[in-house]
Amino acid sequence: MDKKEALLSLSMFEDVSPTVLEPLVNHFIVKRFERGDQLWREGDEAHNFTFIASGQVKVVKFRNDGRETILGVFDEGDAVGVIAVYQRMPYPASAIALSDTTTLEIYRDHFFGTLRREPQLLESVVLSMMRRNRDLVRRIHELTTSSAEQRLAMLFQKFADKMGVRRKLEDGEMGILVPLPLSRNDIAELINVRVETAIRIMSRWNKEGPVRTESDGFLITDPEMLAELAMRID
C-alpha cells in the first residue's frame, strides 16, 4: 500500500497538499483485520488515531446480556474513535470489522506534534471535526423527529452515498448495491427501533421496493422511491 496516496484519499486530509502531508506519512502504520476482528475493546486506552483505508467498521456497546448496540458504521476514508484519542480517555465502545479491513494508524503525540508545525494540516483537522459534529447533530435530529421508515430510508441513502456500487437490475435499469453485512437487529439498532419493526419494514421493501436484501448486501432497486420516503413528512 502507498501510504501517501491512501492518506490523501481520507476525508480528513482531502484538502491537504501532498507536500504538507509528507511529515506525517512515515509515522503511520498499516494494520489489517479480518471480518469479525476487534480493532479495540471498550475500556482500552486510546493511543492511536485510526483511519479506514478499506473495509467497514462498526462501533458497538455490549449490554449485560452480551448483545450489542450499534452506535455507528464507518466506511473507507473515515476516521473512527477520534474523540477518545483527542480527550486521552479509554474507548467508550468497541470497534469491530464488518468486512476485511485495512487501517492507517498514527500515535497521538506524533500527530499533534505535526499539527503544531503545519497550520494547513491543523485547519483541515478542525474542519473535519466540525463536519463530524454536524453529522452527529443531524443524526440526533433524525432519531427524534422522523418515522421509523423515514429513518431507514435516510440510513440507506447515506450508505449509498458513501459506499454504493452501481449494479444493473433484471429489467435493465441501474440500482445501487450497499455491500454491508447487516442483520435485521443491526438495522434496528441503527435507527433506534425494535427488531420486529425493522423486520416488518424490510420484508415489505423486499416485495414492493425500494430496497432488496441480497447475499452480498442490500440492493437499492428504486432510488427515487427511497428519496421520496426519506423526504416524507408524516
Assign 8 a pLDDT band (cuts: 50, 70, 90): confident
Contact 108, 85 (CB under 8 A): yes
| Residue whose C-alpha cell is 421508515 | 149
Residue 174, φ and ψ in degrees, nearest 5: -100, 130
Say what the pLDDT of residue 116 is.
Answer: 84
Residue 223: pLDDT over 80:
yes
For residue 13, which of 61, 60, 66, 79 has the smallest C-alpha distance? Answer: 79
Q: Which domains does the chain have, with CATH numbers?
A: 3-142 (2.60.120.10), 147-231 (1.10.10.10)
pLDDT tens figures, 51-60: 999 999 999 9
Question: Angle 164-131-95 (CA atoms, 0-180°, nearest 5)?
Answer: 65
Report the alpha-carbon distance of residue 191 to residue 70 in Å, rounded: 10
Average pLDDT, integer, range 96-117? 91
Three-state DSSP string of 81-138: CHHHHHCCCCCCCEEEECCCEEEEEEEHHHHHHHHHHCHHHHHHHHHHHHHHHHHHHH
Q: Is the peptide bond before 223 cis (omega within 30 degrees of 0)?
A: no
Assign 145 a pLDDT band (cuts: 50, 70, 90): low
Say what the pLDDT of residue 16 is.
Answer: 76
Report the alpha-carbon distance of residue 100 to residue 37 in Å, rounded: 9
Average pLDDT, integer, range 6-26? 81
What is the enclosing helix (H) or strand (E) of 25? Answer: helix 18-25
Say what the pLDDT of residue 139 is.
Answer: 63
For residue 209, which of 197, 227, 221 has the smallest C-alpha distance? Answer: 221
Residue 191: pLDDT over 70:
yes
Greater model confidence, 52 or 17: 52
Say what the pLDDT of residue 19 is.
Answer: 81
Count of other CB atoms within 10 angstroms of residue 217: 19
